[in-house]
Amino acid sequence: MKEGFKINKSANPIIFAVSDSIGETAELAARAATVQFDSGNIEIIRFPYVTDTEYASEVILEAKKHESCAIVCTIVLPEVREYLIEKARENNIPLVDIMGPLIETIGKITPLKPKLEPGLARRVDEEYFKKVEAVEFAVKYDDGKDPRGLAKADVVLIGVSRTSKTPLAMYLAHKRIKVANLPLVPEVSPPEELFEVSPKKIIGLTINPQKLYEIRKERLKALGLNGEATYASMERILKELEYADAIMRKIGCPKIDVSNKAVEETAAKIIEIIKKNEEPIL
């Protein structure tokens, strides 16, 4: 008998929440229904990972021991679900099948075929929360705000101002990749933490000087500032690029020229580099 399936006989009504995954949905549905009754003595017991007819049979055997027992099931595997339904019918055990009718109904309004894989909803939720976590990480460790994030990141982006570090970090975050980014400025030495990170996790972003000149001038105009400021001077740009290139050479990290690349294109290149370096982030 599967571990945890044997339960003590109870005089109270019992609902078995049966699932071929962890059983959260079946239990929540059962609880939502039981609160409609004044009696608080209805027990709900979860039976997770019922993935074959042998375990389904054990559920029925346990249910038969109780005078007042019902089954609520969220099983997507057809053969297991049908077996459980049939055996419950044979033994006069009330059963509510949640997933079967839903899958059948949805199948009538779409040409797509159901995957019939247990636990898909949970995996989708996990992917969503990983994405949220990565976005929060990108915001927290944007623009070198906290150098402690460099060691925690899946990818560290370095480069001069206006090389798309922040947009890239946010784009990659939606791919569930935790990214920290750090601006390279001649007057400010990079934090020591940068040189403690594996060069395989660091990506240097470079850009054509003329392209950067145009971007910075437009940026100043958008801010209502004088386009002739030092920030957008070619002399300053060349100095910054030379300094950034020296840092990247010292680290020995791969570099990407973002001059004529869209964020999506650069992000794809970053993912390609990381996968090639076999960093286990995806």
The per-residue pLDDT string of the chain (282 residues; one tens digit each, 9 = 90 and over) reads: 454 455 555 568 999 999 988 888 899 899 889 888 865 688 999 999 998 999 999 999 999 988 899 999 999 999 999 999 999 999 999 999 998 888 888 889 988 888 877 777 666 667 778 888 999 999 999 999 999 999 999 999 999 999 999 999 999 999 999 999 999 999 999 999 999 999 999 999 999 999 999 999 988 888 888 766 888 899 999 999 999 999 999 999 999 999 999 999 999 999 999 888 864 545
The encoded tokens of residue 273 equal 């580099």
164 is in an annotated binding site: yes
Please state the domain extents for the chain. Answer: 14-118, 126-276
155 is in an annotated binding site: no
Residue 1 confidence (pLDDT): 46
Contact 196, 245 (CB under 8 A): no
The type of residue at 172 is: L
Q: CATH for 126-276?
A: 3.40.50
Angle, helices 263-276 vs 165-173, to 10°: value is 70
- Give the neighbor-by-neighbor strand order of the sheet with 155-159: 179-183, 155-159, 202-206, 255-257
- Counts for the chain of helices (H) and strands (E), in that order: 10, 8
161 is in an annotated binding site: yes
Residue 102 confidence (pLDDT): 87
What DSSP string describes 18-78? EESS--HHHHHHHHHHHTTSS----EEEEE----SHHHHHHHHHHHHT-SSEEEEEE---H
266 is in an annotated binding site: no
Same fold, 14-118 and 126-276: yes
162 is in an annotated binding site: yes
Residue 4 confidence (pLDDT): 47
Which phi and psi (to 5°) does residue 243 adopt?
-65, -45
| CA 129 centroid distance within chain | 5
Residue 131 confidence (pLDDT): 87
Distance CA 83, CA 57 (A): 8
- What is the rounded end-to-end Cα distance, in angstroms, of the chain? 38
Architecture of domain 14-118: 3-Layer(aba) Sandwich (3.40)
166 is in an annotated binding site: yes
57 is in an annotated binding site: no
Residue 82 confidence (pLDDT): 93
Question: Pairing relation of β-strands 155-159 and 95-97?
Answer: unpaired
Which phi and psi (to 5°) does residue 68 adopt?
-120, 95
Place of tokens 């601006």: 183
CB atoms within 10 A of CB 97: 20
Residue 123 confidence (pLDDT): 67
pTM for the full predicted model:
0.62
